């Protein structure tokens, strides 16, 4: 599917991309007001601005995806996103208005500004971060992300105050 193929297209609320789709272009579904999305199990990259300005209620990223490019889901509202095993890179402003994000052991790189929200950019409410204990690059503590190599802070999420055991009650 080519670049900006369906930009601002009306009437596309539910989208199922068959597994025959292996590539999406820059901004392919930009501004379509999608509410439901099923991605192809053969996608390796979710390109820049591909699903920007959509209203997805649930996001299921297939395990075939290795990279989520900058602004891929920007201006969407997600309370929680679970990034599957296999994803290695997440670019800047990939997500907006996040409350929580779970990251996989496969993650190697994440932009320090992978989320965008005016209040987040002002460092008031960044998302609460969890990561697989098996990740060799990062670890999470109290919702913030740290580099294993030197224990330095990678992403500070200490502002939102959700304790690590909140969901284990």
Q: What is the pLDDT of residues 102-141, one digit of tens each?
A: 999 999 999 877 876 544 444 556 778 899 999 999 999 9
Is the model's pLDDT at 157 over the cut of 80?
Answer: no
Confidence (pTM): 0.86
Question: pLDDT category, 73, cuts 50, 70, 90?
Answer: very high
User: What single string gives the DSSP state of each residue in the chain?
Assistant: --TTTTTT-TT--EEE--TT-----TTTTTT---SEEE--TT--EE-TTTTTT---S-----TT--EE-TTTTTT---SEEEPPTT--EE-TT-EES-SEEEE-TT--EE-TT-EE-HHHHTTSSPPEEEE-TT-SSEEEETTEEEETTT--EEE--TTS---TTGGG-
Q: Note the pLDDT tens digit of each residue in 82-102.
A: 999 999 999 988 988 778 889
pLDDT cut 90: percent of the chain above it:
54
**What is the CA angle 120-124-130, rounded to 5?**
70
Lowest mean pLDDT among 32-36, 80-84, 164-168: 164-168
What mean pLDDT comes out for the span 57-75?
A: 91
């Amino acid at each position: 599917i080519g670049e900006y193929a369906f930009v601002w297209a009306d009437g596309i609320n539910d989208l199922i991309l068959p597994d025959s789709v292996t590539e999406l272009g820059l901004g392919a579904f930009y501004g379509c007001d999608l509410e439901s999305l099923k991605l192809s199990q053969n996608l390796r990259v979710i390109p820049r601005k591909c699903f920007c300005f959509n209203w997805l209620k649930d996001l299921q990223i297939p395990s075939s995806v290795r990279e989520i490019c900058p602004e891929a889901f920007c201006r969407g509202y997600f309370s929680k996103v679970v990034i599957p095993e296999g994803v290695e890179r997440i670019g800047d402003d990939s997500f907006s208005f996040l409350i929580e994000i779970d990251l996989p052991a496969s993650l190697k790189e994440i932009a320090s500004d992978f989320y965008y929200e005016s209040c987040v950019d002002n460092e008031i409410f960044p998302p609460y971060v969890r990561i697989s204990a098996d990740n060799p690059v990062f670890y999470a503590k109290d919702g913030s992300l740290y580099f294993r190599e030197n224990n330095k802070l990678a992403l500070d999420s200490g502002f939102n105050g959700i304790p690590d055991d909140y969901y284990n009650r």
